[in-house]
Amino acid sequence: NAGVTQTPKFRVLKTGQSMTLLCAQDMNHEYMYWYRQDPGMGLRLIHYSVGEGTTAKGEVPDGYNVSRLKKQNFLLGLESAAPSQTSVYFCASRDRSNQPQHFGDGTRLSIL
């Protein structure tokens, strides 16, 4: 049981490049989330999804897009990367019952 898997683990981009981060979960969870983690600010919610085909904005959605075409996958896209998007990105998932979120290992993204 792999749980929540994020790919890639590391990436360096140049300003203006585009990139898609993939989150896959094998627990048949309904809800999925993307967070970014920055020093001194904890984790902040970017976008989330409450089911296949649905997405919603979180606390810091600007500059990001997401898609949930399949229940097990939640993609986070950066159309035109900016240095301010340098961060560690975490994906999480959970089911509809009263269980906590499960997190992936994170993706460390640097934008030069």
Task: Provide the CA 62 distance to its chain's centre, in angstroms.
Answer: 13
Please give the structure tokens belonging to residue 90. 């975490």
Q: Which is nearer to another protein, 12 or 50 (CB)?
A: 50
Rule CB under 8 A: choose which of 11, 19, 43, 61 binds another protein: 43
What distance in Å separates the CA atoms of residue 63 and residue 85, rounded to the nearest whole number?
8
* Shortest distance (Å) from residue 14 CB to another protein: 26
Unique residue bearing structure tokens 């929540």: 4
Q: Looking at this protein, which amino acid is placed at residue 26?
A: D
The β-bridge relationship of strands 10-13 and 107-111 is parallel
Rule CB under 8 A: choose which of 14, 42, 62, 69 binds another protein: 42
Q: Looking at this protein, which amino acid is placed at residue 27?
A: M
Task: Determine if 58 is a binding residue for another protein (CB under 8 A).
Answer: yes
Task: Determine if 110 is a binding residue for another protein (CB under 8 A).
Answer: no
- Contacts to another protein by CB under 8 A: 31, 33, 35, 40-45, 48, 50, 56, 58-59, 90, 92, 94, 98, 100-101, 103-106
